[in-house]
Structure formats: C-alpha cells, structure tokens
Structure 1
Amino acid sequence: MKRIKRFLNISSNKYAVAVVVLLSASFIIGLSSVFFRYPMSWFDEQVHYARVMTYADNPLSITRGKVTKDEQTFIQKPMKKIAQSLGQPTTEIISSDWQKEFDGLGKHQERISTKDATAAAIYTPFVYTPYIVAAWIGKTLHLNVVTTFLLMRLSGFLLVFTMFILAIKKIPFGKLTLAIIGSLPPVVISFAAISADELSYGFSFLFISYALSLYLDIIKNKKLSVKDICLFIILSFCVVLTKIPAFLILGLYLPILYAGFKTKAINKKGLITLSVVLCICAIITIGWYMIVRNMNGNVEYYGRENVDQVRQIKFMLSHPLRTLRIFADNILSYPYNSMQLGYSDYTKTMSVPAGLTLLPFAGLVLSIFIKDKDDELNFTDNQLAMLYNYVSRLLFVGAILLIFIIFYLQNSEVGSDTVVGLQPRYFLPFLLLLLPFTNRTLEYNARFMTGLVIISASPLIYYSAIFIFQLLN
C-alpha cells in the first residue's frame, strides 16, 4: 500500500484504500466486460467498429466506409441477435463462449461498402487510435475477426484505464471524486467497448486534472516550467481531436492565463504560446466541424427524415422564443442520472434502477469535502481560486447546452420540440468541472469511508451482480 500511496500521491491510508477499492472494482468489471460482453452489445458499438475498420484501411476516409464481408457479417449477426433479445430473454448477450458463433468467419476478405460506418463519420481518426493500431496488428499477424475485435477492445481498455490512473495521480485533490466518476457503469462499459467516448473520457479527465494541478501551482506563486506548459499543450491538442464538445473544457485556459499573468507564474513567452495554442485548437475544432457538417449519418443509417442542419439553424434564428422554450424544456426534463448498461439478456437489466442512480451522486458531493491532506491555502478568501470555481461551473453548464444544441442540429427533425439521440453518458466527462477549490472538510473514519464507497459503487455493484448472474445462466 505504501508504494501505491506514493505513486498516487496520497497520504491517508483510509483515503488510499477507498480509491484503490474503486479502481480495482472498475478494472475487474471493465476487463470482464471486454471478453464476456457480446459483440456490439454496447450502444452504437457496431457503427464505431465499422468506422475503425474503415480508418484502418484508409485513415483519410471521409466517405461512407468499407469493411470486409466477414467484418460486415460480424456486425449484422450480433445486431440481429440483439434485436431478438429486445423481444424475448436470451442467454447469449453476456456469455463466456459467444466466440463459437463466429468460427466460420475468415473466408471473405474482399471489401464492400457499408452504411454502418456512416453514423460515426463525424469523428476524427484520432479518437479511434488504439483500435486502429490493434486492427493493423491483427492484419499483420493474420488474426481472425473475433481475435482482432477482442484485441481492439482490450487495447482501448488498457490505454484509457492507464490514462485514468494517471489523471488520479496528477489531480492535486478530489482523487476520490474522480475515482467515483470512473466507477460509474456507463464509464466502465465505455472503457471496455469500441467507442468514441473512450479517449474523450480519458483525455478530458487528464486535461482537467492537469489544469487543476497547474492552477494550484499558480495560486501558490510557483513558476510553471517549460515541461509543464508543453505537456498541457499536448493534452490540449489531444482533447480537441476527440469529440467536438470536449473543446469546451479548454475554457480552463482563461483562468490559467489570467492567474498566470497576475501572479507572474507564467512568463510573457508562455502566455503568448498558450494563447496561440488556444486559438489553434479553436480553429481545429471549427475546421473539423466544417468538414463533417454535411455528413448526416442519422439520415442514411438511422433512417431519420427531415434532418437538415442548415434548415434547423434557420428555424432556430427565425423562432428564437420557441427555440429557447424547446431547449429549456429538454434540458430541465432530461434524466441526467439515468445509467445505461447496454444490451442485455433481459430488457429489465439494460439500465440501473432509478433509485440506485442517485446514490453515487450523493457520494460525489460528499467526496468533494473529504480531504486526503490539509489545505495549504485559504481558498475561500482567494480570488483566483474563486475565479476557477466560477469559470469551471460556467463551462459545465455550457457543455450541457452545447451537447443539446449539437444533437438538435444533427439528430432532430427540423422544428422538432424534442432533442433526439442524447444519452446520459455524454455528460459524464464534464462532471469533474464541478470539483471546486474549497476549504470545507468532512471528518471521516474507516466506517464512514466504507459506507461512502458502498453507496458510490452501488450502481457498479448492481451491474456486477447482474453480469455474474447472466454469465452463469
């Protein structure tokens, strides 16, 4: 435990045990999901798999996409079974021997056009990097479709979980808060599936953790080194190359630049460099959006009609009051605490019961005030600390609004009163923005920490229980 505490920069034994327990549980359940979840059993995994195989063949592809006949069969067969599972119970979505169903694949290597990759064409090749590399390895070693698929899942999971551990190591406080976020079932399953969310989660957690660390150094009047700034810049580029809404967390540049200038913790050259990088990141985000703005896979793949971004924008501008009402109604009524578990043997186990989903959020709030070590500064009277708190909360609200706007433009019919296609997991990487600088503390003992871990991990415990039950049946 001493080595783990030293590696994670944790002082308290009780605090370290709580973090390690959550990390261990997340790792075990995530790794099990890699191997025992049926192919395409996480929402939209089929479109991301098809996009990965398209990029693996041609990283510059921005078209409909191509896969081999075997890969197309590997998509269609699971989706047919999953569709059947929605109408009647099955024993194959969570299974230890699902691979046997695909023993016949390996004879058809000619490439064919597929519409399955269309819905994911809006994502950059970068967001699929671990999967693309795994696909290249599979092709080089002549691995079969199933083995390559598992290698893709495994490589993505190990990479993002390593990033998650590094984020916990780097974040100066709130390590337990971050561990709780990472133990939420939608996050764990996203880590284990082929998904565009995976690297978005990983780099968002890393970036915010690093930003908090830099900001704390700044308000302590510590000079930032060239290495600190370079790593921050690298993370910034990685963030904007994932999902477009992730760009919003780069708003943390603003308090960092202001505080760095006021305290002189960042020299003039560093301030100019960071300002230029922020502008470049904005240009990259806008540029990629302009490239993919007309790639509406929701029309071709999901069969949605009357979806047109240009006409939707015109509608919003010509009906401002109605647009405000639409967004207000949808944002205020959305079930943010809902936790999806993907496709399952039983439709009732495709999500965590509503009552359980509230518990980890209670744990998150409590964890904010549980400190591993005493604060060195009085944050309450520190204007720079309060500035970060205000900006980060504003960015969180902005992220919610931006996600709703994007889905209204890309997924919803023109003039619709409902924002279509949203899933609660899209908001989870932004939760860390709500971690504040605060001197408020809660006293804790071993019993309190045990209870906190249990209520925080209750959705993961539920998922583990139904996962094992389905695996054994």
Structure 2
Amino acid sequence: MKGLHNLMQNPIKAIVKPEWCFLVLMLIIGSCFAVLVPAGGGADEPNHIARAVSIAHGDMRADKIPDRVGYTSPQDVNGVDSALYGGVVDSALTDVAWHNMVDFHTPKSKGGKIYSFPTWTTQGMMSHRNVGEKEHVEAFSNSAVNSPFVYAPFAFGYWFSRIFTSNAYAIIVIMRMFGLLTAAGILFFCIRYIPIGKWVLASVSLMPTMVIFDATVTADTVTYAMCMSFITVVFKCMCENRALRRSQWILLLLVSISLALIKLSYVPLIILLVLIPIANQYVRSKKALFSLLGIMLCTGILFIGWYLVVSSINTGAMFDVGASPILQKQYVFSHLITYLGLLIKQFIGQNFFSLGVGGTLDLHGHHTFTGWITVCILICAVLVIDSREKCLAIFRKNAVWCCLCFLFVSACVFGLVETALYLQFSPVGADNIFGVQSRYFLPILPLLIFAVVITARQADESTVQSDLKGVRDTQVLHGMDNRLGIGMMLGLQFISAIFTLYLLLTTLYTA
C-alpha cells in the first residue's frame, strides 16, 4: 500500500524503481496484446484454453478418449499406447479459439486477414458464439500433461467472466487478463524483494516475447512466475544474517513445492536450496539442514507423484512426426555419445536470450533487428544497481559456489527441456530436436545473467565487511552516474515497449 501511495503521490519518482517500471509497462503493453490479439491466436492457445476450462469444471487430469488415437513411429511395431487424452469442454470456446487461431496464423503473404479495430469487429471473425449451448470431447494435445496449478489463474478468470457474460470471445479475453494480472503481481513482488539484480529480473520479464506470452492463455505464464518466486525466496534466505523465521520456512516450502507443480523440466531449480546454508551461517544447524532436506524431499515426492500420473500420456503421439517415446529412449541409451553431441549442437545454436523473437507475431515476419534493443537493455541491467541492493558482497563472497550452482542448474534444465522434446516431438533417431522454442529457457535466463552480475561488479573490501556486518552498503554506482544509468534503462525500456506495441499494431492492422 505504501508503494501504491508513493506512485499516486509522485509517479515520476516511483517509476524509476524497477518493480514499478515493470508493472506499468507490462500492464499497458500486455493488456493491448490480451485484448487485441484474436482470441485463440496465442501459441497453442486453443489447447490451453480447453485444458483450463476443463480444470475449472473440476477435471484435474486429462482422460483417455475412447476410440481416438494419434500417430506413432512406423518402427513402433509393438503399438505403444497412442490414445489421445482430453475432456469435455464447451464447443463455443474451442470453436472460437480454433477458428481465430487458424485465421491469425495464416501469414499475410498467403492471404491472411487485415483486421479491423478493435479486432473482434473484423468481418469473418468468430466472436459472437455463446457458451452453454453445446459440449464436445476435445483432445488437449500438448497441454494434457501440465498440472492444474499452471492453469489456476485462467480457471478463476473463466468463472469470474461467467458472472458477467456468456460470450466465448469475451471469456477468453478475460481469462487472458487474469493470467496477465497474476503474473504481473507475482513478478512485481519478486523484483521488489530480490536482494540483487532487480533491473535484471525486470528486464528479462519485460522482454517482448515474455510480454506476449503473459498476455495469452498458456502454461508458461505461471511457470515463469513461480520459477522467479522460488529464486527470489532462496536469495532472500541466503542474505538473512540470522536464523530463518517460521514464516520464511513456510514460504520457502510453498515456492519449492510449486516447482513440482509447474512444467517438470524446471524441477532442477530445487538444487539452489544448497546455497542457503553456504551463504547463511545461521542455517547450518542440524535442525535447519534437516528442514531443507525435508523441503527437497516433499518437492521430490510431489514431482514423482505427478510424473507417474501423466507418464502414460504420449503427447508426441498426437503429431504425425513418427515419434515414439519408448523407442526414442532406447535409441538415446544405445547412442549416448551421439545424443550428447546432439545436445551440444542444440546448445550452440540456441537463442537463449530470445533476441528478435516476437512470439506469434513472428508468423507475420521475423524482426531480428529488434534483438539489439534487448541486448542494450540487458547490458544496462547488469551495470545499474538499485539503491536497495545491499547484499551483493554476500553473493561475491560465495561467487564460486553461486556461479557453479547457477550453471549446473541451467545445464540440467536445458538437458531436460531438450530431452523431453526429443522424446515426444522428434522422429526416432532424428539428428535434430524438433519443437524447441527459446521461451522454454526464459526461466533460467536470469540465473545466467546473475552469474555475470556477481562476477562483473566490483566491490572493495570495506563494502564486503560492511555488508557482512549488516551495515548499510555503499552504492557501487551513485550520484550522477547512477541516475544516468537509470535514465538510460528507463529510456530503453520505453523504446522496447513502444516498438513491441508497434509490431502488434502493424501485424494486425496494416498490409
């Protein structure tokens, strides 16, 4: 409330803080995307909408659809279970989503539509269907294995919207807004309370591809937000110069458990818990160490439990690419060296920073030069220190452990993401991994930049000692230099936001 009061009293002074800069730009630009992009036009959005609505009606797990099967590899002579999984959903919602997705994803060079403003008034746009008229069984495709947790904001948005309207198009837009507000709220507090790299976290969270995906119905919205929540809480516990309070243990447990309920590939983030006793000497008692071990155990049990629930669902069988997870596993184990070489190849060619990536807008032209704005922003984010970042020396004292842990966790996540896609989406024995998108690596991108922050910023010995004693830190960048850096950061963020909005408007409304 104090921060909101300060924003109302002095908006210019408040906006220079990274959390307020993030919140204002995310809500303005994100809302434009949520409202104007055709309902269903997000990445795989019809599948996510169907899954979210099914969860809203109490169906926590996708069910096998009788007499409906997908595709598997011709080599799969044993015929693994290729059944499709889904549930009963409202026909109006899925019809609107699929119709508008196909319409939006048709490139303009091939006869794609130039939309009227606002988008839903466009001739031929399916925007007048009402829910409650008819239901049907819908296959959830690649959203079938996601836990209900990642769709909670959209499920709440669905029920909230039903109080006011039965229009399917409007319901989808409201679901988007609930997801956007949830992500923006969680990340706002993450940026405010993370002890280092506030501008780094704000900058990554404002990258064009992040804004675009936060403004649609997708599992990535909650996944990224909870990954950042976990990292923030771990960093806060590392910097406590005393034993952790009960409330902090509870919060640490909750954010740790959330890792088991988001996409399974990000569970390795739990390894970051080992940094707490390394950096905080008051968390080295037997009781504290057993508490950390218990948190990891709870997370692991929940992870294994959900994995067993969804392990039989063959999402790759829903795509005619000759995939077979069972045969692919056999191939990986029998050609381990070859597969490791494939991972190295994928690593070298991966666009980890999502440079020039505009999400679904890329279907209408890839604007690679926009990546330079992101490069400038991230460089500036590494150099600019918020006045509240008083714990840098703690991280620098443990720089080796922090960097090794960050890199190891990032490597684990990278390997799991690539392997999951290789098993589910790539033909057996393929020499390439299909279905990889740079947005899958955004949850580990801040960790990689934090490693640079810790090693690049220099702190003198007096700063280190004052930090360790809990005395107020001396800013590395201060006075006119720091104000100049913040001014550059705000200018770059504004330019990036305006250009992202420009891409949206030109993609939708001009030839």
Map 1:66-465; keep pairs closer than 5 Å: 66-85=88-107, 87-92=110-115, 95-98=118-121, 101-102=125-126, 104-106=128-130, 109-115=133-139, 117-139=140-162, 143-217=166-240, 221-260=241-280, 263-265=281-283, 267-300=285-318, 302-305=319-322, 307-336=323-352, 337-344=354-361, 347-348=364-365, 351=366, 353-373=367-387, 375=390, 378-379=393-394, 382=397, 384-434=398-448, 435-436=450-451, 437=454, 439-440=457-458, 441=476, 444-455=481-492, 458-465=495-502
**How many Å separate the matches in 1 of 2:391 and 2:433?**
45
Contact 2:203–2:378, Cα closer than 8 Å, also in 1? yes
- Structure 1 pair 17–124 and aligned structure 2 pair: CA distance change class (3 A): closer
Question: Which consecutive unaligned segments of at least 5 residues does structure 2 have?
Answer: 64-85, 459-475
- Structure 1 pair 19–318 and aligned structure 2 pair: CA distance change class (3 A): same
**How many Å separate the matches in 1 of 2:91 and 2:429?**
39
**How many Å separate the matches in 1 of 2:117 and 2:356?**
18
Name the SS for the 2:432 alignment partner.
coil
Instruction: Name the structure 1 match of 2:38.
Output: 38
Name the SS for the 1:49 alignment partner.
helix
Cα shift at 1:14 = 9.6
Contact 1:53–1:66, Cα closer than 8 Å, also in 2? no
**How many Å separate the matches in 2 of 1:16 and 1:344?**
30
- Structure 1 pair 338–407 and aligned structure 2 pair: CA distance change class (3 A): farther
**How many Å separate the matches in 2 of 1:264 and 1:174?**
24
Cα shift at 1:323 = 1.1
Cα shift at 1:35 = 1.0
- Structure 1 pair 6–224 and aligned structure 2 pair: CA distance change class (3 A): farther
* Letter paired with 1:340: V
Name the SS for the 1:409 alignment partner.
helix
* Letter paired with 2:207: L
**How many Å separate the matches in 2 of 1:216 and 1:345?**
41
Name the SS for the 1:66 alignment partner.
strand
- Structure 1 pair 14–418 and aligned structure 2 pair: CA distance change class (3 A): same
Map 1:19-34; keep pairs closer than 5 Å: 20-34=20-34
**How many Å separate the matches in 2 of 1:418 and 1:406?**
13
Contact 2:279–2:395, Cα closer than 8 Å, also in 1? no
Contact 1:359–1:455, Cα closer than 8 Å, also in 2? yes
Cα shift at 1:112 = 1.0
Identical-residue share of aligned pairs (%):
21
Cα shift at 1:152 = 0.8
Cα shift at 1:89 = 4.1
- Structure 1 pair 107–311 and aligned structure 2 pair: CA distance change class (3 A): closer
Cα shift at 1:19 = 5.4
Cα shift at 1:213 = 1.3
Contact 2:191–2:201, Cα closer than 8 Å, also in 1? yes
**How many Å separate the matches in 1 of 2:188 and 2:443?**
15
TM-score by length of 2: 0.81
Name the SS for the 1:294 alignment partner.
coil
Deviates more, 1:433-442 or 1:311-320: 433-442
Cα shift at 1:397 = 2.4
Cα shift at 1:423 = 0.9
- What is the aligned length? 457
Name the SS for the 1:396 alignment partner.
helix
Contact 2:55–2:155, Cα closer than 8 Å, also in 1? yes
**How many Å separate the matches in 1 of 2:265 and 2:90?**
32
Name the SS for the 1:112 alignment partner.
strand
- Structure 1 pair 342–90 and aligned structure 2 pair: CA distance change class (3 A): farther
**How many Å separate the matches in 2 of 1:167 and 1:430?**
15
**How many Å separate the matches in 1 of 2:315 and 2:118?**
31
Cα shift at 1:419 = 0.6
* Letter paired with 1:226: R
TM-score by length of 1: 0.87
**How many Å separate the matches in 2 of 1:269 and 1:39?**
51
Contact 1:89–1:347, Cα closer than 8 Å, also in 2? no
Cα shift at 1:466 = 2.3
* Letter paired with 1:106: N
**How many Å separate the matches in 2 of 1:80 and 1:323?**
35
Contact 2:395–2:402, Cα closer than 8 Å, also in 1? no
- Structure 1 pair 323–270 and aligned structure 2 pair: CA distance change class (3 A): same
**How many Å separate the matches in 2 of 1:333 and 1:464?**
28
* Letter paired with 1:424: S
Deviates more, 1:85-94 or 1:73-82: 85-94
- Structure 1 pair 107–446 and aligned structure 2 pair: CA distance change class (3 A): closer
**How many Å separate the matches in 2 of 1:61 and 1:313?**
25
Cα shift at 1:97 = 3.2
- Structure 1 pair 171–376 and aligned structure 2 pair: CA distance change class (3 A): closer
- Structure 1 pair 269–67 and aligned structure 2 pair: CA distance change class (3 A): same
**How many Å separate the matches in 1 of 2:225 and 2:320?**
32
Name the SS for the 2:433 alignment partner.
coil
Name the SS for the 1:408 alignment partner.
helix
* Letter paired with 2:201: L
* Letter paired with 1:45: E
Contact 2:421–2:434, Cα closer than 8 Å, also in 1? yes
* Letter paired with 1:298: G
Cα shift at 1:248 = 1.6
Instruction: Name the structure 2 match of 1:62.
Output: 62
- Structure 1 pair 279–89 and aligned structure 2 pair: CA distance change class (3 A): same
**How many Å separate the matches in 2 of 1:324 and 1:407?**
15
Name the SS for the 1:97 alignment partner.
helix
